[in-house]
Structure 1
Amino acid sequence: MLISMEKTCTITGKPFTISESEQAFIEAMDMPLPTIEPEERIRQLMATRNEWKLYHRTCDATGSKILSAYPPESPYTVYRNDVWWGDSWEGLTYGKPFDFSKSFFAQFDALQKVVPREGTSVFQSENCDYNSHIRQSKNCYLNSLVVRAEDMYYSYWMVDVENVIDCCFHIKGKSALCYECLAFGTCVQGIALQECYNCNDCAFCYDLRGCDHCLLCSNLSHKSYHILNKPCSREAYEKLRSEMINGSYASWVKAYQQYAEVRQNALHRAAHTINCENVTGDHLFDSKNCLQCFDGDTSEDCSNDVSLNDAKDIHSCYSAGWPRCEQLYNCAVSRGCSAMAFCRYMWFCNDMRYCDSCQSCKHCFGCTGLRHKDYCILNVQYSKEEYEALLPKIIAHMKSRGEWGHFWPYTVIPFAYNETSAQTYFPLTKAEALKRGFRWRDEKDAPPDVTKIVPADRLPDSIDEIPDDVLGWAIECAVTKRPFRIIKQELDFYRRMRLPLPRIHPEERHLRRMALRNSYTLWERACGNCKKAIQTTYSPERTEKIVCAECYLKAVY
């Protein structure tokens, strides 16, 4: 009978626990138990994914200029998206038989560099070239992790939205006309909301459910016309709203400062879990038996994961689902897959190990960029009998070199650390990243092709005073001094919604929103009300009032 096992992380030296269910799953996958703590496993996976950075480079197939997640100096072969998705190339062309005089990862790395990669992950979309990881969308610009969006700008991790700017983490329901919203769902005309669901015409609010026409409120359920959690007349609501949201930057700053106080003084749930059973983690919906999981819905029997959708038996993975995934271990970005380990960017694959960017494949090992293939190793086709005879020898070879059961070494990861989502969720300095073995890319913005650069503090206060000429300017960020542009659709949105022009670069705005989210670390604390033990992503030094689920429900409902 298995019991929970305590181990020490070989990277951080911190203790971590491997549960009975996780042990059973890993042993069933015929893998050794992990030697690094869950957070470090997620860091490794996130370090394989460039979610934001876009570069101009040359398509290695056509010679045309393209947008790419890979910078010009990258040693990888990169194709324009339509060429990569086309049938002018074949992944088996690049295969080489396994060489037992070399390590597996050295051979895998060499294969990775020659097999073509798509420039950006954009498909089934219209007018969405300037995005990363987007599908089934239209008229979007500079977003990442998007499904079914229209007219959206500078947003992250968004599903089923339209007319949205500067938002992130929308997974449930459909929303429209939202600005500066975070962790929300089914909201219309939402301005500066966090943890709000099924709300209409609310602004500067935290943790509302089924509310409408609320300002500066928190912890309310099914309320209308409230200011600072107290009922108000329609006239009082409209008067205050017009004072807060009137196109003036000064008014916006004042209102946002009030909002920060509302958020700080609100009750905070130890964990944002809805309709869940036997779960630990945060931001989980309609799930059960998920331990130390974050940002997931409709999942079960999972552990140590970030980003789940319709997932079952998923362990130590980042972004699994959309559609259903089952039995995955230590994988990054899996769609419709099952029975995989140590894979990245896989679509509708089964029984795969150490593979990258494959579609509709099964029974493959160490392959890259294959489609509709079975029984391949390092992109070489074998018969079923040949594959089953060779694979155990390769695994034994990997075990002898200490490679088996470990995710890809940092030398095989295609991006610099500060190009990836790992830097967002687990930030490191350049020195820290290099010490750990990651690469780092020093960046410098190209001079913008504009008529002039205007410091943010020189902009007119009101959106009404902003001329159309601003579309030909660059604004110098008030924080980073990086120049950024305003596009016409964005300007039209601000004017329509009576919002001031932003003074901060889009990347910095994104980082500020992300800073409002807690980390993927669980802490032991006591409920701020009844004092019972709780697990929460709010660290012990945080000063907000953190309460257990029972105390929260009594107070709010």
Structure 2
Amino acid sequence: MEYQNETKICQNCKKDFTIESEDFNFYEKIKVPPPTFCPECRNKRRMSWRNERTLYKRICDATQKNIITMFSPNEKLIVYDRDYWWKENFDALEYGQEIDFNKTFFIQFDELFRKVPLPSLLNENVVNSSFCNCVHNAKNCYLSVASMEVENVLYSTRVIGGKDSMDLFGGFNQEMCYENVVCDKSNHLFFSERSMECFDSMFLSDCKNLGNCLGCVNLRNVNY
């Protein structure tokens, strides 16, 4: 069957969005109906399960201690302190349940989800970094999320290999850096984006191997 591009109104935000002809062919191939939400609203719905940056104070349901968690205290969930949760001091059979074929899958999934203990934060091997989430091998970090191999990193996200830096978005192996977006292997780099192997520089964009530079764009291998 030959399809044409079709414009629809998103059921959520009420904005127009276009479904292209090849998309219809794909939907037919996997036997699913065309979407009724626009791409942006569909992405928001998918990401609604992932909370990285909003943290709450809550009581651990196992130890009754105050904890920092990504789950709101208003949510009727069972939340354990992260360290207690990893010790597995609870019986998994306590929340197991039989399949009820008279109920829909999602109703039963919701019931099970609210029974299973959840870890307060998704961290691993962290030291003095209580207000971070989704981090691995972090030391002395604060309000940083989705990062790994970081030390003394503040207010940052999606950083791998950062040290003594703050306000970073993405990137690898940055030290003594500030307000960078997706930079790599840099030292003393500030207010820059998509640059790598730069040092003692500011306000760079798409640069590589620069030193002592200011306000440069698309420059390579320069040291003033």
TM-score interval, normalised by the smaller of the two chains: 0.7 to 0.9
Per the TM alignment, residue 98 of structure 1 is displaced from its structure 2 partner at its CA by: 2.8
Q: Which residue number in structure 2 is paired with residue 77 of structure 1?
A: 78
User: What is the TM-score normalised by the length of structure 2?
Assistant: 0.86
Partner SS state of residue 45, structure 2: helix
Per the TM alignment, residue 135 of structure 1 is displaced from its structure 2 partner at its CA by: 0.8
* CA 212–77 in structure 1, closer or farther in 2 if over 3 Å, else same: same
Matched, 1:120 2:124: no
Per the TM alignment, residue 38 of structure 1 is displaced from its structure 2 partner at its CA by: 2.8
Which structure has more relative contact order (CA 8 Å, sep 6+)? It is: 1
* CA 199–14 in structure 1, closer or farther in 2 if over 3 Å, else same: same
Q: Which residue number in structure 1 is paired with residue 204 of structure 2?
A: 205
* CA 91–219 in structure 1, closer or farther in 2 if over 3 Å, else same: same
Per the TM alignment, residue 43 of structure 1 is displaced from its structure 2 partner at its CA by: 0.9
Aligned residue type for 2:18: P
8 Å contact kept, 2:3–2:25: no
CA-based RMSD: 2.6
| Larger-gyration structure (1/2) | 1
Encode CA deviations 1:88-121: one digit per residue, 9 max, x unaligned: 2244431322333333222222221121111011
Q: Which residue number in structure 1 is paired with residue 103 of structure 2?
A: 102
Partner SS state of residue 124, structure 1: strand
Q: Which residue number in structure 2 is paired with residue 166 of structure 1?
A: 167
CA distance in 2, matches of 1:216, 1:21: 46
Per the TM alignment, residue 57 of structure 1 is displaced from its structure 2 partner at its CA by: 1.1
Q: Which residue number in structure 2 is paired with residue 177 of structure 1?
A: 176
Q: For 1:319-468, what aligned pairs fall within 5 Å after superposition?
A: none
Q: Which residue number in structure 2 is paired with residue 39 of structure 1?
A: 40
Per the TM alignment, residue 21 of structure 1 is displaced from its structure 2 partner at its CA by: 11
Per the TM alignment, residue 16 of structure 1 is displaced from its structure 2 partner at its CA by: 2.4
CA distance in 1, matches of 2:70, 2:33: 33
Aligned residue type for 2:221: H
Matched, 1:14 2:13: no
Q: Which residue number in structure 2 is paired with residue 366 of structure 1?
A: none
8 Å contact kept, 2:180–2:189: yes
Per the TM alignment, residue 14 of structure 1 is displaced from its structure 2 partner at its CA by: 1.8
Q: Which residue number in structure 2 is paired with residue 56 of structure 1?
A: 57
CA distance in 2, matches of 1:189, 1:114: 48
Encode CA deviations 1:508-537: one digit per residue, 9 max, x unaligned: xxxxxxxxxxxxxxxxxxxxxxxxxxxxxx
CA distance in 1, matches of 2:173, 2:94: 44
CA distance in 2, matches of 1:25, 1:198: 47
Q: Which residue number in structure 1 is paired with residue 89 of structure 2?
A: 88
CA distance in 2, matches of 1:159, 1:4: 44
CA distance in 1, matches of 2:21, 2:38: 9
* CA 115–198 in structure 1, closer or farther in 2 if over 3 Å, else same: same
Encode CA deviations 1:522-553: one digit per residue, 9 max, x unaligned: xxxxxxxxxxxxxxxxxxxxxxxxxxxxxxxx
8 Å contact kept, 1:80–1:118: yes
CA distance in 2, matches of 1:143, 1:18: 42
Q: Which residue number in structure 2 is paired with residue 244 of structure 1?
A: none
Per the TM alignment, residue 162 of structure 1 is displaced from its structure 2 partner at its CA by: 1.1
* CA 38–66 in structure 1, closer or farther in 2 if over 3 Å, else same: same
Q: Which residue number in structure 2 is paired with residue 219 of structure 1?
A: 218
Q: For 1:308-319, what aligned pairs fall within 5 Å after superposition?
A: none
CA distance in 2, matches of 1:22, 1:120: 41
Q: Which residue number in structure 2 is paired with residue 473 of structure 1?
A: none
Q: What is the aligned-residue identity percentage?
A: 28
Bigger shift: residues 54-63 or 216-225: 216-225
8 Å contact kept, 2:24–2:34: no
Per the TM alignment, residue 64 of structure 1 is displaced from its structure 2 partner at its CA by: 1.3
8 Å contact kept, 1:155–1:168: yes
User: What is the TM-score normalised by the length of structure 1?
Assistant: 0.37
8 Å contact kept, 1:16–1:37: no
Aligned residue type for 1:84: W
Per the TM alignment, residue 19 of structure 1 is displaced from its structure 2 partner at its CA by: 4.0
Q: Which residue number in structure 1 is paired with residue 133 of structure 2?
A: 132
CA distance in 2, matches of 1:23, 1:139: 48
Q: For 1:145-156, what aligned pairs fall within 5 Å after superposition?
A: 145-156=146-157
CA distance in 2, matches of 1:22, 1:150: 49
Bigger shift: residues 216-225 or 97-106: 97-106
Q: For 1:227-376, what aligned pairs fall within 5 Å after superposition?
A: none
CA distance in 2, matches of 1:38, 1:188: 38
Partner SS state of residue 121, structure 1: coil
Q: Which residue number in structure 2 is paired with residue 357 of structure 1?
A: none
* CA 101–55 in structure 1, closer or farther in 2 if over 3 Å, else same: same
8 Å contact kept, 2:162–2:173: yes
Per the TM alignment, residue 26 of structure 1 is displaced from its structure 2 partner at its CA by: 6.8
Aligned residue type for 1:82: D
CA distance in 2, matches of 1:25, 1:15: 17
Q: Which residue number in structure 1 is paired with residue 69 of structure 2?
A: 68
8 Å contact kept, 1:76–1:113: yes
Q: For 1:463-478, what aligned pairs fall within 5 Å after superposition?
A: none
CA distance in 2, matches of 1:119, 1:62: 12
Per the TM alignment, residue 190 of structure 1 is displaced from its structure 2 partner at its CA by: 0.4
Partner SS state of residue 219, structure 1: coil
Aligned residue type for 2:206: D
The runs of at least 4 consecutive aligned structure 1 residues that moved more than 6 Å come to 1-5
Which ranges in structure 1 are unaligned for 5 or more consecutive residues? 226-557
Per the TM alignment, residue 2 of structure 1 is displaced from its structure 2 partner at its CA by: 9.0
